[in-house]
Amino acid sequence: MDLPVYTLQQLASRNGQDRDEIWVAYKGVIYDVKKSRLWRDGKHYEHWAGQDLTAEMKDAPHEEFVFDKFQAVGLVKKA
């Protein structure tokens, strides 16, 4: 996978509020969820875009297949 790497700070600005882009990271991969009406304005139930939400997936009524239809746009820079 040859994707650009972004810091958590760069990811945070794609929260659906500060910029037009709406990105969510899962297991270190950043997905563009802008086309989803379920992530409108960056909010998905009680979760906000612009973060790595890997740990929160256990609270979801679904599994990671929900990312299948979204394009990976980057990778989260490791600390």
What's CA 72's distance to the chain center, in Å?
9
Residue 49 near ligand HEM by CB under 6 A: no
CA distances from 74 to 4, 25, 46, 59, 68 (A): 5, 9, 24, 24, 15
Residue 36 near ligand HEM by CB under 6 A: yes
Vertex 59: Cα angle to 1 and 38 (nearest 5): 70
Residue 24 near ligand HEM by CB under 6 A: yes
Residue 23 near ligand HEM by CB under 6 A: no
| Closest CB to ligand HEM among residues 18, 59 | 59
Binding-site ranges for ligand HEM (CB under 6 A) = 24, 26, 33, 36, 38, 44-47, 53, 56-57, 59-62, 66-67
